[in-house]
Structure 1
């Protein structure tokens, strides 16, 4: 993310949107702010989804909010979302629809996957409810922008994802949760990995 090139006026538009939302405006009224960054996010690693690394030539391409901008699922007390990060580009990830949205895998017993508005933490007591406190969170989901997280993910010969053998129990749990919520075990992507493994 340090390499991203922000379009002219993007920061000004982001700051304006933040002020409007702080005053009660709907976040989605300013979706153009993050959509305007889609081409620049795509340039960072080509047309690959940052979560599953599948090339996105025709499918949905989303600017995903790593920390959800709206109500976070399965959190008590209720969390209205990381609204203060809705227009912060460091919270954006370039994602395919399968990793970002909740979908069923028809090729695998309709198993549900996709991040949606889920954002589990290792320690729920450290959940941020106000700006700045997110630095104390330890996300349970692997972050494709953190090199150490990327190195925790491996793949079996059959194309299914798994953790590296050297991972400790906490990191194995993080990998397992990430596989489920990023839909990394989706039957189509598993099949593509198998094909790629045979070529290599």
Structure 2
């Protein structure tokens, strides 16, 4: 999970979000509950320009686990505040994020009003999250909101821990190659390779999955 800058609101939302929200709220009154409202009123945020804007904003990565979306799965439009609870925010641009299906399914409609899940477009995850680099697990950095985030999105699920361990092995191997090299040119090459594994600059198309974890490993090594 890394900090990103929210981009401009897509035109489909600029032009229609208020009308869609009003019609949804009306349909809830007509049908009695949010769950009884037909999907055609609830899913109007699922527009091509909204998907494209979110994918660009997050650099093709999941807003929670930082896995690359699109290689093996489709991205989901995520409501940080669940639309089943916060009906008026169903089409609010500031509430929409880009998420992998697994994190989306784990989080579902969970919400903790006292310690809300982190918002990567507002909060800096570096201020809240850190890693146990021995076990490759993410943990709170004196932050109850971080604990909510870890629990709601299941950020220590076995598949993610295995992925981090593989990255750790790869990084340690590159570090060993750099340390054993007698050529400054080779050492610079290895250093650049390590830095590429930690880059997160969606605006310039430079992204790497699990970059927060990689940066923690590199910081421990002195890079």
> TM-score, normalising length from structure 1?
0.69
1:161 alignment partner, one of 138, 142, 147: 138
**What displacement does 1:3 show?**
4.3
**What displacement does 1:66 show?**
0.6
2:89 alignment partner, one of 78, 85, 93: 85
Unaligned ranges ≥5, structure 1:
71-80, 102-113, 123-138
Matched, 1:4 2:1: no
The 1-side partners of 2:132 and 2:161 are apart by 10
1:55 alignment partner, one of 53, 57, 68: 68
| 1:32 partner SS | coil
The 2-side partners of 1:39 and 1:97 are apart by 17
**What displacement does 1:150 show?**
4.3
Cα RMSD of the aligned pairs, angstroms, is 2.1
Counting helix residues as a fraction of each chain, which structure ranks higher? 2
Matched, 1:116 2:108: yes
| 1:24 partner SS | helix
**What displacement does 1:149 show?**
4.0
Which gives a bigger RCO, structure 1 or 2 (Cα 8 Å, sep 6+)? Answer: 2
- Corresponding residue number in structure 2 for 1:13: 16
Matched, 1:145 2:145: no
| 2:27 partner SS | coil
Matched, 1:66 2:70: no
Checking the alignment, whether the CA contact within 8 Å between 2:12 and 2:47 is kept in structure 1 is: no
Q: Which has the larger radius of gyration?
A: 2
Aligned length in residues: 156
> TM-score, normalising length from structure 2?
0.63
Checking the alignment, whether the CA contact within 8 Å between 1:27 and 1:86 is kept in structure 2 is: no
